[in-house]
Chain A
């Protein structure tokens, strides 16, 4: 595949790995947070951690929009799906996410709820047009990468006056989450591997505060193995030089100004909530999007009543610590035992990009104590 395979060159990866060994200070650990669930997944899928010097510690971050959805919002989606007139259209990832009492959309579907998997919000809108007797609700999840797609879909819904379509909006913003992590007293992160695809929309400027206010470098990275390794090299060079700048490894798709049309769509269709609850991170101010008043007719939260309960994470669940980079998956007491991909306790284990899922799926053989007997 073009623009993919070239960046999976094993020789180049090993060459960069050799260079990384010259960029570390023996005995001194560099803690680098890879914010994005897609990076976590790529690292484990390709076994890239084998190529990193011991001095580089990769810490997983909260950039997994499925992982950060609180239990209460999952329950709200389930309650919508259980309404007889509603067809809930959702990305596949969300189906196995546990809400309160470990119920999920997949289970609701098994018990008769009309839940359908879609690849794009436009497919959900098409469903509403094709089935006018159904109330189609799209479960909108994702960062600024995905929110523009929902925005455009709502613009189209309004333009074509599709009355049986609405969105249950759970879109979140990446920069406030980074700030929350940096403000957390236990955080020990020296630099960030920045999310590649979010940045195609928001550009590179939103990360500048990380450098100017917190003096940590940020390198925006693509998702292929050489992209990630190259970004680590760029971060280490900055750390050795004492620099803290935003650099862009993913220049082939990320422009510093981002995508103006996508940002304009976000501005028109969404408003920022005063705060929004993130699983494990608590309420973060101005971090979540809601549907703007002009589109109230297509806002599922206006059209339907949802329980809106705030449900505590299970006591044993350490998703919050994992999402903030304070714990590794295998340091969670229930990892692989009470919490597995088939019976997940927390979202980190069920999302295909969650750190726990990635570690369980790909990496648990590297530590004998994490493999179930």
Chain B
């Protein structure tokens, strides 16, 4: 937020976004269900525990290597449910369409959503459509909401994270953000990186077998792994220490980040999860993920340390360490 107007930084998922949510929305809407500011709200009805979530999709361009806005909209909401420890039951979809938007494109996007829903074993059960004048809505915006049944084996909460717990990631990071950045076409680069958009419900169901040894999960989207782990550090009141060489990044993704001067830790993912598990369950957790196609690249990347400073640190191979702060604004490509 800046002098009374919304800036692009407020939507990037980092510090500015958090300020907007905490400083404006939470202030106005304050209630016990909202306060944990988790990916999903946990609602109880007659003894049944449900997860309930919503997300808006404004990605540009609408199509990018590896997916489109429709696929993103389905997987994104499925994943918010999945990482809350829920089995996704159903989604709804709201469309804001710009006058003049191509019906063929709309059909293609709806088709992507259908396929993604099938892959995630959910249905898009209800929806709404609005049309706005030419010039508004930038083509198409999609909002999906989802409801899921919480797995009784787990009670996921940042506050359950303890010193000594280990941090896992399900595979290589930064692919989605790089794919979209390049699809925008104004950086004059060519590469074969595709968005990693995928439903995580099978990976999360596998990890739920760990029961109480599974402390917490999240999908690191906007703002990347760095932002998600900073939220963890703040919520758990501890330091999260990562081992630089253990963090999986594909070679070409790493090269693209190097050229642009962006740290892969800050780049969005749409088909990866990060999980915190008890130390004795670490190897088993990694094995459970690696047994599944989407988890083939799963890696143990760090641990939680007792410290009064809620920071994320990366240990370098040179015996030093550096802070990984929360994202500030948008990752602007570094030049000089």
The finding on whether chains A and B are genuine partners in a shared complex, rather than unrelated, reads yes
CB B240 to nearest CB in A, in angstroms, measures 12
Give the distance in Å from the alpha carbon of A365 to the alpha carbon of B8 in the complex: 29
Q: With A1-B254, A96-B329, A342-B329 as known contacts, state yes or no: A111 contacts B322, CB within 8 Å.
A: no
A353-B336 contact, Cβ under 8 Å, with A51-B318, A119-B187: yes
Cα–Cα distance between A363 and B8 once the two chains are bound (Å): 28
Interface: B133 (CB within 8 A): no
Contacts of B332 in A (CB 8 A): 92-93, 95-96, 117
**CB neighbors of B among A255-309 (8 A):** none
Q: Do the beta carbons of A45 and B318 come within 8 Å of each other?
A: no
CB-CB under 8 A from B328, the residues of chain A are 341-342
12 contacts between A and B (CB under 8 A): A1-B254, A46-B318, A46-B322, A47-B322, A50-B318, A106-B329, A110-B2, A110-B6, A119-B187, A342-B328, A365-B309, A365-B313
A24-48 vs B, CB cutoff 8 Å, 1 = contact: the mask equals 0000000000000100000011111
Q: Interface centre among A92, A93, A106, A364, by most B CB within 10 Å?
A: A92
By beta carbon, the residue of chain B nearest A344 is B328
Find out whether the CB atom of B188 lies under 8 angstroms from the CB atom of A363.
Answer: no
Contact with B along A51-73 (1 / 0, CB 8 A): 10000000000001110000000
* Structural contact, B322 and A110, CB atoms closer than 8 A: no
When distances are taken between beta carbons in the complex, the residues of chain B under 8 Å from A188 are none
Once A92-B333, A92-B334 are accepted as A-B contacts, the answer to whether A119 and B188 lie under 8 Å apart by CB is yes
Assess the A48–B318 pair: CB atoms within 8 A: yes
Q: Does B16 make an interface contact (CB < 8 A)?
A: yes
Contact yes or no, B329 A44, CB < 8 A: no
Please list the residues of chain A having a beta carbon within 8 angstroms of any beta carbon in chain B: 1, 4, 8, 10, 13-14, 17, 37, 44-51, 64-66, 91-93, 95-96, 106-107, 109-111, 116-120, 123, 141-142, 145-146, 225, 341-342, 351-353, 360-365, 371
B321 within 8 A of A: yes
Q: Is the CB of A110 within 8 A of B5?
A: yes
- Interface class of chain B by DSSP: loop
A-B contact count (CB 8 A): 119
* Chain B residue contacts of A46, Cβ below 8 A: 316-318, 320, 322
**Residues 1-32 of chain B, each 1 if its beta carbon lies under 8 Å from chain A, else 0:** 01101111100000110000000000000000
* A64 touching B320 in the complex, CB below 8 Å, given contacts A106-B7, A365-B313: no
Query: Which one of B6, B188, B321 contacts A47 once the chains associate, using CB atoms below 8 Å?
Result: B321
The CA-CA distance from A291 to B167 in the complex, in Å, is 54
Whether A365 pairs with B321 at a CB distance below 8 angstroms is yes
Q: Is residue B260 contacting chain A, with contact meaning CB distance below 8 A?
A: yes
Question: In the complex, A342→B326 CA distance in Å?
Answer: 11
Q: Once the chains are docked, how many angstroms separate the CA of A117 from the CA of B260? A: 12
Asked if B209 CB lies within 8 Å of chain A CBs, one says: no
Q: Is B258 an interface residue (CB 8 A)?
A: yes
Min C-beta distance of B4 to chain A, whole Å: 11
Q: Which residue of B lies closest to A64 (CB)?
A: B336
Cross-chain contact of B320 among A47, A93, A106, A342 (Cβ < 8 A)? A47
| Chain A residue at smallest Cβ distance from B331 | A92
**A94: shortest Cβ distance to chain B, in Å?**
9
Which chain B residues lie closer than 8 Å to A116 at the CB level?
Answer: 186
Which listed residue, A1, A110, A123, touches B188 by the CB 8 Å rule?
Answer: A123
Other-chain contact of A146, B319, B333, B336 (Cβ < 8 Å): B336
B128: which A residues are within 8 A, CB to CB?
none
Which residues of B, 281-336, contact A by the 8 Å Cβ criterion? 309, 311, 313, 315-323, 325, 328-329, 332-336
- For the complex, give the distance between the alpha carbons of A76 and B9 in Å: 23
Does B251 make an interface contact (CB < 8 A)?
yes
For B323, give its contact among A17, A93, A364 (CB under 8 Å).
Answer: A364
Contact of B322 among A1, A65, A119, A362 (CB under 8 A): A362
CB of B37 closer than 8 Å to a CB of A: no
Contact A225 B318, CB 8 Å, known A92-B332, A119-B188, A120-B188? yes
